[in-house]
């Protein structure tokens, strides 16, 4: 009996980060659907992730990989300051995508910086679907 | 009795020599070439130190892209302007929900340069005189004066430093609020001695 309880607690502890991650993404995607989005696709997210957008002021071509690199399991580097950015892939960084407020904050900032506008709910849901798969 | 007096005398001389040594050692560590302040600096009045960042919110929100600059490094006017324009934060988007940004602004204003009467904040605010406060720490007169002799190859053209705004690239105790010259290690060049 005691062994069972210990095993149970261990299982919950191991599963916790994944549960919260799935929860945070599911919660946000549900909100985006209520705003009129369709189904979300990881492929759609990947296209936005890699697409380059020219910055109107500097002409610099910007995409997500500029700071986060092409390999989501690797650390990135802030384009301006050079400060390291922890990997985006939840498989190597379980802390990622667990906090809805933080996700929304960074999507807003980084969509504006990269695309020059806020992302649509569809785009945000697709990006999250893409990131979740890594 | 006479013997005791001799011992007392020797002790006093020893203490005096010891103290002199301390003062000299401290002078050697300090880099300021401003003549006014040697003695005051030894008393702690204007050492290149500053309080550590004590707001976890500020540390988390502002420390994710760059070091969380101590609030005493800029006057209140600069922080006010900066926090009112986070959407274009030196070309980056650093927008925050109002709830967070007002708490952070409050922390910054309470601890801004002119609110602290010692160390770096005091020297930074004094250096501004009556001039309008710049938005960048690296453009305050005190900062410019302290860094004017550092060649570009050690900073701008040094991939491990990139900019004078990366304090902790060279100031090994920047995050603890200490910017003493003997703690400086420039990546690829080592100690700095002017």
Q: Which residues of A touch B91 (CB under 8 A)?
A: 80
CB B57 within 8 A of CB B104: yes
Q: Which of A55, A101, A51 is nearest to A80 (CA)?
A: A55
- Geometric angle at alpha carbon A26, from A25 and A29, rounded to 5°: 85
What is the per-residue pLDDT across B69-100, written as a single tens digit (0 to 9) for each?
999 999 999 999 999 999 999 989 999 999 99
pLDDT band of B30, cuts 50, 70, 90: very low
Mean pLDDT confidence for B38-50: 62
pLDDT band of B152, cuts 50, 70, 90: confident
ipTM of the complex, rounded to two decimals:
0.77
Mean pLDDT confidence for B31-43: 46
Enter the tokens of residue B137. 């720490």
Chain A within 8 Å of B62 (Cβ-Cβ)?
no
CB A44 within 8 A of CB A131: no
> Residue B55: CB partners within 8 Å, gap ≥ 6?
B104, B107
> Residue B137: CB partners within 8 Å, gap ≥ 6?
B69, B73, B74, B143, B165
Contact between chains at B65 and A80 (C-beta distance less than 8 A): yes
Q: Which of B47-51, B71-75, B122-126 has the highest mean pLDDT?
A: B71-75
pLDDT of residue A16 exceeding 60, the answer is no
The count of CB pairs under 8 A between chains A and B is: 33
Enter the tokens of residue A134. 């890594």
Distance CA A113, CA B174 (A): 29
Global pTM?
A: 0.76
| Distance in Å, alpha carbon of A95 to nearest chain B alpha carbon | 14
Chain B within 8 Å of A82 (Cβ-Cβ)?
yes
Whole-number average pLDDT of chain A? 90
Distance CA B176, CA A15 (A): 37
């Amino acid at each position: 009996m005691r062994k069972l309880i210990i095993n149970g607690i261990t299982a919950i502890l191991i599963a916790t980060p994944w549960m919260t991650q799935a929860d945070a993404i599911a919660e946000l995607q549900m909100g985006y659907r209520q705003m009129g989005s369709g189904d979300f696709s990881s492929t759609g997210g990947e296209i936005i992730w890699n697409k380059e957008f020219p910055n109107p002021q500097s002409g610099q071509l910007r995409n997500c990989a500029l700071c986060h690199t092409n390999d989501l399991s690797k650390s990135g580097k802030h384009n301006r300051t050079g400060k390291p950015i922890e990997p985006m892939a939840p498989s190597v960084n379980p802390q990622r995508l667990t906090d809805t407020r933080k996700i929304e904050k960074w999507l807003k900032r980084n969509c504006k910086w990269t695309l020059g506008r806020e992302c649509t709910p569809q785009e945000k849901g697709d990006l999250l679907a893409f990131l979740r798969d890594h | 009795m006479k013997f005791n007096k001799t011992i007392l005398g020797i002790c006093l001389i020893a203490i005096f020599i010891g103290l002199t040594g301390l003062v000299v050692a401290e002078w050697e560590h300090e880099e300021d070439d401003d003549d006014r302040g040697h003695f005051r600096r030894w008393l702690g009045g204007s050492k290149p130190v500053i309080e550590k960042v004590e707001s976890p919110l500020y540390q988390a929100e502002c420390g994710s892209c760059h070091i969380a600059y101590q609030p005493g490094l800029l006057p209140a006017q600069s922080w006010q302007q900066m926090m009112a324009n986070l959407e274009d934060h030196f070309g980056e988007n650093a927008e925050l929900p109002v709830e967070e940004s007002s708490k952070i602004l409050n922390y910054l204003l309470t601890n801004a340069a002119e609110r602290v009467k010692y160390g770096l904040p005091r020297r930074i605010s004094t250096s501004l005189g009556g001039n309008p406060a710049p938005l960048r720490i690296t453009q305050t007169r005190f900062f410019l004066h302290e860094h004017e002799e550092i060649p570009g190859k050690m900073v701008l053209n040094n991939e491990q430093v990139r900019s004078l705004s990366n304090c902790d690239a060279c100031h090994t105790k920047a995050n603890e609020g200490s910017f003493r010259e003997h703690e400086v290690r420039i990546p690829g060049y080592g100690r700095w001695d002017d």
